[in-house]
Amino acid sequence: MDYVLRTNALTKQYKDFKALNGLTMNVPKGSIYGFVGRNGAGKTTLIRMVCGIQFPTDGSFELYGVKNSDPNISETRRRMGAVVETPSILPYLSARKNLEMQYDIMGMPDYKGIDELLELVGLKNTGNKHARDFSLGMRQRLGIAVALCGKPDFLVLDEPINGLDPQGIIEMRELIIKLNRENNITILISSHILDELAKVATHYGFINGGQIVREMSAEELENECRKCVRVKVTDTGALARVLDGMGTDYRMIDKETADIFASPNITKLAFSLWEEKCEILSASEHDENLEGFFISLVGGGSNE
């Protein structure tokens, strides 16, 4: 698999506080990578490092195979765009003028493509209205348009839906999917609004305490979260034999617990287990979403 971004034991220490503690993650090419973690988990710190805003204390990362210590990393960053926390825009300029400035910063030969960008983010009809008079959603979309100026193939969005109204959230979601599917842009999104993330992400990285606790594809997550009956038995060996015999899909959780997918005939299962001298201690329906999975992964304690 090709990776756009790979980090290797990335560490960032601020005096007595370790914001990143040996973080290792891999963002596959073409993915929408949902970067999930609590406030203060280290999401923004990682993004700042990738963007060159901050430097790692230890460890390294590779952007398109170019190491952060390589002098060519600056050149490689031209292939990426980013909106870090708040959109970086000039409030006293119109949307078009903001994009013109970014085109100038990038040294683009002309302003062709600005109309297309404004159209893409839905800001074509804002005329001479200054960015300071925009709604939060419009400012976010302008920030994304600025990040898209150099036609990047890697886009980093830090909390892009924070503070947006429901309509703004839908528009942002559609824009992200469009950029990924139609423009083949790999997108790294950090967010703690998990329901929304679950609607767009193809891969996930769960971060806690400055470390990646789990990396998985949306498919793997779906498998882990799919509806099942969780049974606790006295003999999981017997349970496995019975389930294999019934041709039912299942997953062993521990020595006495297993998840049985689909809807098993409980009476038939209980009868077959009784024949194997295995007792069912408990059975409950189990249905986990991304939120539940995240909480079970990192624990439900304080986020301070």
Partner 1 sequence: MNKLLKVNLKLMLRRKDTMICVIMSAVLALLEVLISKLNGSLDWFGMFEIPLIMMMFMSAVGGLFISRDYTQNTIRNKLTVGHKRSHIYLANQIAETVFFGVSLIIFFAVSSAANLIVIGAKGAAASDVLKNMTVCFFAVVAVSALTTFLAMTVKSAAGGVLPIIIMYPLLMFAAMSQEFGDSKWIQVMNDIIPLSQMTALAVPDKRAAIHIVYSLILTVFFITAGVVNFRKADLK
- Could you say whether residue 228 binds partner 1 (CB under 8 A)? no
Measured from the CB atom, the residue of 77 and 141 that comes closer to partner 1 is 77
Question: Using CA atoms, how far apart are residues 290 and 131, in angstroms rounded to an integer?
Answer: 35
Query: Can you tell me which of 11, 102, 191, 272 binds partner 1, judged by CB under 8 A?
Result: 102
Question: Using CA atoms, how far apart are residues 61 and 49, in angstroms rounded to an integer?
Answer: 9
Number of residues that bind partner 1 (CB under 8 A): 35
Measured from the CB atom, the residue of 17 and 247 that comes closer to partner 1 is 17
SS3 content of the chain, % helix, strand, coil (to 5): 40, 30, 35
Enumerate residues 6+ apart whose C-beta is below 8 A from 264: 229, 243, 246, 248
Measured from the CB atom, the residue of 73 and 295 that comes closer to partner 1 is 73
Give me the amino acid identity at 49. Answer: M
C-beta of 47: minimal distance to partner 1 in Å? 10
Stretch that binds partner 1, among 91-99, 167-175, 211-219, 287-295 (CB under 8 A): 91-99
- Could you say whether residue 66 binds partner 1 (CB under 8 A)? no
Angle (deg, nearest 10), helices 266-275 and 236-246: 130
Query: Can you tell me which of 52, 113, 122, 209 binds partner 1, judged by CB under 8 A?
Result: 52
- Could you say whether residue 39 binds partner 1 (CB under 8 A)? no
Question: Per CB under 8 A, which of residues 118..177 are in contact with partner 1?
Answer: 146-147, 149-150
Whole-number CA gyration radius for the chain = 24
- Could you say whether residue 55 binds partner 1 (CB under 8 A)? yes
Stretch that binds partner 1, among 69-77, 176-184, 190-198, 293-301 (CB under 8 A): 69-77
Stretch that binds partner 1, among 35-43, 52-60, 162-170, 261-269 (CB under 8 A): 52-60
Measured from the CB atom, the residue of 48 and 96 that comes closer to partner 1 is 48
Stretch that binds partner 1, among 33-41, 50-58, 192-200, 262-270 (CB under 8 A): 50-58
Query: Can you tell me which of 92, 111, 271, 274 binds partner 1, judged by CB under 8 A?
Result: 92
Query: Can you tell me which of 8, 24, 88, 183 binds partner 1, judged by CB under 8 A?
Result: 88
Continuous H helices in the chain: 43-51, 73-76, 95-106, 114-120, 136-147, 166-182, 194-200, 218-225, 236-246, 266-275, 290-298
Measured from the CB atom, the residue of 52 and 209 that comes closer to partner 1 is 52
Distance between terminal CA atoms of the chain? 36
DSSP secondary structure letters along 55-114: --SEEEEEETTEETTSTTHHHHGGGEEEE-SS----TTSBHHHHHHHHHHHHT-SS-TTH
Binding region for partner 1 (CB under 8 A): 48, 51-55, 73-78, 80-82, 84-93, 101-102, 104-107, 146-147, 149-150
